[in-house]
Amino acid sequence: MEMEIKKMAKSGNREACKILAKQLVQLRKQKNRTYAVSSKVTSMSTQTKVMNSQMKMAGAMSATAKTMQAVNKKMDPQKTLQTMQDFQKENMKMGMTEDMINDTLDEIFDESGDEEESQDIVNQVLDEIGIEISGKMVRAPAAGKNLPTASPKRKTQISDDEIERQLRALGVD
């Protein structure tokens, strides 16, 4: 269009230049209006999408609220608290009962003389292999005092015959 205006201006046709210039101005205005309308249409499309998303969110929130209401109607806080307190009370009772049973069983087994019988068996086994514990314990050194030191020259070795003799005395073949 600008080229035609230049051609008309070179040929000296002023009226045609004015008309073409008006058309050029109108064309530019129309182009700007088209851009404006296009951007408004795009904006409206975006707004429509946002509104659609908001409607879906509102629907989801509504469904969640209804679900929460239904749960709250079915779940009585006072009843739940009472149930939890009852559970705690019964759990404590069960713990006390278990402690009482364990204490009673411990008393029964302690009174049966198992300790004395165990000590008698240990003494018998030690007597069989030739160790007298009662007399030697009195002469045993106290912990940490006068402990004998090991010398590298003295090595105590027990022969195989001695080990076998002690095993036979214990009844192990």
pLDDT tens readout for residues 91-121: 999 989 898 888 888 777 766 566 677 778 8
**Which token pair is 170?**
């214990």
Determine phi and psi for 100, rounding to 5 degrees: -65, -45
Q: Is the pLDDT of residue 56 over 90?
A: yes
Q: If you average pLDDT over residues 158-165, what whole number do you get?
A: 82
**Which token pair is 24?**
């050029």
pLDDT tens digit string along 119-140? 788 878 877 776 655 555 555 5
From residue 7, give the alpha-carbon distance in Å to each of 2, 27, 76. Answer: 9, 19, 91
- Please tell me the predicted confidence (pLDDT) of residue 171: 78
Residue 121 exposure: Cα atoms within 13 Å on the Cβ side: 6
Measured distance CA(2)–CA(148) in Å, rounded: 121
136 against 166, higher pLDDT: 166
% of the chain with per-residue pLDDT over 90: 33
Burial classification of residue 5, based on how many CB atoms lie within 10 Å of its CB (0-12 exposed, 13-18 middle, 19 or more buried): middle
Measured distance CA(155)–CA(151) in Å, rounded: 8
Q: Is the pLDDT of residue 152 over 60?
A: no
- Please tell me the predicted confidence (pLDDT) of residue 78: 85
Q: If you average pLDDT over residues 52-67, what whole number do you get?
A: 94
